[in-house]
Amino acid sequence: MSALSSQEPSPKRRIGAEKSETRALIVDVTEQVIREEGYAAASTRRVALRAGLNPSLVHYYFPSTDDLLLAVFERGAAQSDAMIAAALASNEPVRALWQFFRDDSRTALSVEFIALAIRRPAIREQISAHASAMRAQQIALFERVLGERLAQATGCSPAGLSVILAGVGRALFMEAALGVTSGHDEAIQCVEKWLDALIPSP
Amino acid sequence: MSALSSQEPSPKRRIGAEKSETRALIVDVTEQVIREEGYAAASTRRVALRAGLNPSLVHYYFPSTDDLLLAVFERGAAQSDAMIAAALASNEPVRALWQFFRDDSRTALSVEFIALAIRRPAIREQISAHASAMRAQQIALFERVLGERLAQATGCSPAGLSVILAGVGRALFMEAALGVTSGHDEAIQCVEKWLDALIPSP
């Protein structure tokens, strides 16, 4: 790795060879900075310092701070997509999706990206496009798996259920990150009662 | 206001007189900085610069950045408390509370404070104490107004309903701030159907 901290980017031929490794290191360090200090701390200069790289090398891969932040978002979105795809492919996709919504492993990062998206249009577009695509996929699943039973049992449409499950799941992990858990067990019981009524036990 | 930008805090006697006005100006400007640039930008130095005040005067009122951020949080929390008190005192407290959860006027600020609370313990304690107190108040309301009907109609406890309504309301405004609104109308219809079933029309 010592070549990476040299004053100038390596010659073209070597950059090609090192590209994925250096790029991945930069994205790793940026994610760490966002988690520990917040998105506002994630400048190319700060990331270069923490990664022990020359700022010009970070700039070579990520010309702007938005490029850097987007790379972290895109890697996280790809991880979410893979988790959702696994949930959708499981024997109990609706319950698996609900577990995914309740997952708290990415909380701090998600909140940072929402805060960031509210302020920066370039980031907002990517985040909202990704969120809309995920929602469309979930609505299609609820239509396919729950069908008519959903409206009969709850009075909710597939689209409404999708917003409700995502919202309740997100509330559980955002509040837990703040140390607020009052009512959480009861909300989970309540959602699971609906799901039990909707989905015959296997 | 020109006296406020002098090199040193005014003599004791004058500070007492100007206290609330200067303090309120500092809190206003800090809130503006958080809304426009994020919480990480809200240093006493930056706030002093934007308010046209000497940094030592800002330090006089708010010795640390945490003190400054907490003052903004506390003012916002007092506004929320007043809105909730008005909802609870209305003829239709449950519906009024649901409207409050859906209110989007404080979105950008709430998300900043959640992001901040995840990282800073001093802020987290205040935010979680406030959130827990609000929840306890709402649970008591649901018990009083909905009573037995709630469990019979939905299978949910008052505590569970409180988390669900808050979570869905927050999802609606957080997603709308990102430009994602798919499924929102349906989720609102779904919640309002439950409320119609729970609360006799006036």
ipTM: 0.82
Count of beta carbons in the 10 Å neighbourhood of residue B68: 24
> Is residue A11 pLDDT above 50, yes or no?
no
Binned at pLDDT 50, 70 and 90, residue A1 comes out as: very low
Instruction: Collect all residues of chain A within an 8 Å Cβ-Cβ radius of residue B157.
Output: 186, 189-190
Contact A171 B170 (CB under 8 A): yes
Q: What is the pLDDT of residue A57?
A: 94
Question: Does residue B127 sit at the A interface (CB-CB below 8 Å)?
Answer: yes
pLDDT of residue A149: 85
- Asked whether B131 and A178 are in contact (CB, 8 A), the reply is yes
Rounded CA separation A150/A138 (Å) = 14
* Shortest CA gap B44–chain A (Å): 16
Scanning every residue of chain B, which has its alpha carbon at the shortest distance from the alpha carbon of A124? Answer: B178
Beta-carbon separation of A40 and B36 below 8 A: no
Residue A40 in contact with residue A66, Cβ under 8 Å? Answer: no
A186/B179 touch (CB, cutoff 8 Å), yes or no = no
Reference B130, options A182, A97, A164; nearest CA is A182
Per-residue confidence (pLDDT) for residue A152, from 0 to 100: 83
- How would you class A180 by CB atoms within 10 Å of its CB: exposed for 0-12, middle for 13-18, buried for 19 or more? buried
Can you tell me the distance from the alpha carbon of A27 to that of A68, in angstroms, rounded to the nearest whole number? Answer: 7
Interface contact A113, partner B, CB < 8 A: no
- Looking at chain A, the whole-number percentage of residues with pLDDT higher than 90 is 52
- CA B90 to CA A143: how far, in whole Å? 39
Distances (CA, A) of A200 to A37, A95, A158, A187, B60: 46, 11, 17, 21, 64
pLDDT lower than 70: segments of chain B: 1-19, 104, 200-202
pLDDT at A202: 59
A54: phi then psi, degrees, rounded to nearest 5: -75, 135
CATH architecture for residues A2-63: Orthogonal Bundle (1.10)
Residues of B in contact with A189 (CB under 8 A): 157, 160
Confidence grade of residue A9 (pLDDT, cut at 50, 70, 90): very low
Q: Produce one character per residue of A77-97: b if its CB has 16 or more CB atoms within 10 Å, e if not.
A: beebeebbeebbeeeebbbbb
Q: Nearest-CA distance from A62 to chain B in Å? A: 22
Is some CB atom of chain A closer than 8 A to the CB atom of B165?
A: no
Residue A2: strand, helix, or coil: helix
Contact assessment for residue B186 and residue A156, using Cβ atoms and an 8 Å cutoff: yes
Please, where are the H alpha helices in B10-157?
12-37, 44-51, 55-61, 65-89, 93-102, 107-119, 121-154
pLDDT recorded at residue A18: 55
Q: Which of B37, B40, B187 sits opposite A163 (nearest CB)?
A: B187
Residues on chain B touching A166 (C-beta within 8 angstroms):
171
Q: Which residue has the tokens 């490029």?
A: A67
- CA dist B19 and A202 (Å) reads 67
Query: Do the Cβ atoms of B180 and A131 come within 8 Å?
Result: yes
pLDDT over 90 at A201, yes or no: no
The answer to whether A156 contacts chain B (CB < 8 Å) is: yes
Of residues B20 and A51, more confidently modeled: A51
Best mutation target among B46, B114, B192 (most A Cβ atoms within 10 Å) is B114
CB-closest option in B38, B163, B182 to A187: B163
For residue A112, which residues of chain B lie inside 8 Å, CB to CB? 115
Report the chain B residue with the minimal C-alpha distance to residue A156: B190
Handedness of CA B40, B43, B45, B51 (dihedral sign): positive
For chain A, positions 28-47, list CB contacts with chain B under 8 A.
36-41
| Pick from A53-62, A78-87, A193-202: least confident | A193-202
Question: Other C-beta atoms within 10 Å of B109: how many?
Answer: 17
